[in-house]
Structure 1
Amino acid sequence: MSAATPRTIPAPTPTPRSRADRKPNLALWALTGLSLLTALLVPLVTGEASTRAALLLTIPFAFIHGIRRYGVRQLLTFFVVTFVVSNFFEDLSIITGFPFGDYHYTGAPKLLEVPIQIGPIYFGLGYLAWLTASALLDNADSRLGRAHGRTGTINLFALPALAAALMTMFDLGSDSISSTVSHVWIWEHGGGVFGVPYTNYLGWWFVTYLFFQIFALILARPGLNRGPQHTTGLRHGSLAQPALIYTGLGLASITYFTAAHTTRVTDATGVAWNTAALNETMMTINIFGLIVVGLLALTKIARGDTTRTTP
């Protein structure tokens, strides 16, 4: 070959997306946009937190996105694990006080002592926290276990621990509004976090870590964790969508500028809390908690950190 004749390497031909692939992706972006609008507009219009509505939207999103990313069998496994583990410990805590503390739910159809929607909400929110944590750890859910060397071994435990922390971070910025203000559930002995005991947050981390760890061990089994390539195409869903919704949840309870600032609420022990201070604190927690973490995950996705492969 002559030195003057350059060798040309043809560019790879992109694979066109089918109509069947575009429809679920459009549905996911529609749910993402609707979640963000709900988080922003409901507090502005009503002066009340939009947390419950935003959480319900995570359920269909998690089913559609999760089937595309993991397949039906693994996604249903995640649903069953989160539902069973969360309901077991919620019932246990209502009866015994462990691990969250002493509380009870008000109203709503229940499965034993827990409202029916609580298990699916753990699933939807858990899915967002899992993938946001995965983005922070450079697509860690695709590299779990010894088959991926030291990185895979670390990811196997670090990803569940971080995902559980992201779940707990959400609850820290919303539980006082849902319980002390809205009375969706009642803390029978109150607590220092505007009527919520610190044990609630320790319990949240413990319970969510358990179901994330179980799912990580399932994914790490030989033949199931297919490596980084299984999450790099639109066919398998985007990490940006769950990270955006997780970031939006940080806006759902920001009602400081719209809620009444002169009211007081009383918890089950008779302690009075100022709603202005409560809303301001929750807003601050969410701004420097969920929103910062979500933006960090989105930054890593935009930089391409989640698409790089390692030996």
Structure 2
Amino acid sequence: MGRNKDEHGRAGRRRPGAWGLAGGGLLVGMVGAQVVSGVRPRPVKLTSVVVGLLGGSAGAFLAGRHGARRAAGAFGAATALGYAAEWVGVRAGVPFGRYSYTPVLRPQAGGVPVIVAVAWGGMGPAAHAAATEIVPGGGPARWAVGAAALTAWDLFLDPQMLRLGLWTWEGGGPYRGVPVSNFAGWFAVSLLLMAVVEASAGRTAPPASGGLLTIYTVMAAMETLAFAAVFDPPDRLVAAAGGAAMGTFAALAWRARWRR
């Protein structure tokens, strides 16, 4: 039993192959695009580039951990679920609340920018990787932690996208114009997304993909820095709220990984 556990741990931490190297390269490219977008006067033009690199990196790391077929299934399912939730959301006002996308992000399908679905597909598996380290047993407890970790990202995402004029909320809300219903909806959709990712990729014991966990950590760090010091004007409330939330999940995941 102990020998099998050791072998599984070594397999999860093996040197990166071609998929791992591709994922790392795309992640570096995403960081570079984020840096450039942070200092440009019109950063929205690079939004699709950043998200596209995020999605590519997550897909590559998924393939390195679970194989290309399972990775395609997990990424595709997460992307499709995210799109479906947004498609329903802009029409019915559930599960997030009443909102709509502006014409800025293109292409759009049914009033939803395609790149938004890719963002769900990229960050969903990254949040699931964090939850895999924190909750080794899998199942509903892991899904709940992963859903909370993904919802923590939206503490950054929604205020940033509102700044850029990418979507609008009907009636606003108490958190930088975002209603509380949005976060409840994010958690509900994210909970289902975690179950879908786990079913598609396979219910695995930790260690999770180190690349996916790195994506989650990098996003937490870069968004915190951006809101604290890079954006003009900065927003230290969002930096503190999002940084504390995402940082907690990232720290717990790495701690569990290093102690295992």
Task: Assess if the C-alpha contact under 8 Å between 2:83 and 2:117 holds in 1.
Answer: yes
* Structural RMSD (CA): 3.0
Query: One-letter code of the match for 2:185?
Result: G
- 1:247–1:88 Cα change, 3 Å: same
Greater gyration radius? 1
Question: Structure 1 residue 286: deviation in Å?
Answer: 2.7
Which ranges of structure 2 fall in alignment gaps of 5 or more residues? 1-6
Match of 1:283 in 2: 239
Match of 2:130 in 1: 132
Task: Assess if the C-alpha contact under 8 Å between 1:39 and 1:249 holds in 2.
Answer: no
Question: Structure 1 residue 174: deviation in Å?
Answer: 2.4
Question: Structure 1 residue 128: deviation in Å?
Answer: 0.7
Residue 130 of structure 2 is aligned to residue 160 of structure 1: no
Residue 218 of structure 2 is aligned to residue 240 of structure 1: no
Question: Structure 1 residue 36: deviation in Å?
Answer: 4.3
Residue 109 of structure 2 is aligned to residue 114 of structure 1: no
Tell me, what secondary structure is at the counterpart of 1:186?
strand
Query: One-letter code of the match for 2:194?
Result: F
- 1:39–1:110 Cα change, 3 Å: closer
Question: Structure 1 residue 101: deviation in Å?
Answer: 0.7
Residue 190 of structure 2 is aligned to residue 208 of structure 1: yes
Question: Structure 1 residue 76: deviation in Å?
Answer: 2.2
Match of 2:3 in 1: none
Match of 1:252 in 2: 222
Question: Structure 1 residue 165: deviation in Å?
Answer: 0.8
Which ranges of structure 1 fall in alignment gaps of 5 or more residues? 1-11, 141-150, 233-237, 262-275, 306-311
Query: One-letter code of the match for 1:120?
Result: V
| Bigger share in helix | 2
Tell me, what secondary structure is at the counterpart of 2:220?
helix
Match of 1:298 among 239, 251, 254: 254
Match of 1:98 among 94, 101, 104: 94
Residues matched between the structures, number: 243
Task: Assess if the C-alpha contact under 8 Å between 1:256 and 1:283 holds in 2.
Answer: yes
- 1:28–1:215 Cα change, 3 Å: closer
Tell me, what secondary structure is at the counterpart of 2:227?
coil
Deviation digits for residues 9-36 of structure 1, max 9, x if unmatched? xxx9x99xxx9x7433322332334444
Query: One-letter code of the match for 2:58?
Result: A
Task: Assess if the C-alpha contact under 8 Å between 1:29 and 1:241 holds in 2.
Answer: yes
Counterparts of 1:23 and 1:215 in 2: how far apart (Å)? Answer: 22
Tell me, what secondary structure is at the counterpart of 1:99?
coil
What does residue range 139-218 of structure 1 map to in structure 2 within 5 Å? 140=136, 151=137, 155-179=138-162, 181-217=163-199
Deviation digits for residues 122-167 of structure 1, max 9, x if unmatched? 1111111111111222xx3xxxxxxxxxx4xxx2111111111111
Match of 2:23 in 1: 28
Deviation digits for residues 226-246 of structure 1, max 9, x if unmatched? x65xx77xxxxx632222221
Match of 2:4 in 1: none
Counterparts of 2:253 and 2:32 in 1: how far apart (Å)? Answer: 20
- 1:260–1:124 Cα change, 3 Å: closer
Counterparts of 1:183 and 1:41 in 2: how far apart (Å)? Answer: 19
Counterparts of 2:159 and 2:164 in 1: how far apart (Å)? Answer: 9
Percent identity among equivalent residues?
A: 22
Task: Assess if the C-alpha contact under 8 Å between 2:124 and 2:193 holds in 1.
Answer: no
Counterparts of 1:295 and 1:241 in 2: how far apart (Å)? Answer: 15
Task: Assess if the C-alpha contact under 8 Å between 1:39 and 1:251 holds in 2.
Answer: no
Question: Structure 1 residue 86: deviation in Å?
Answer: 1.8
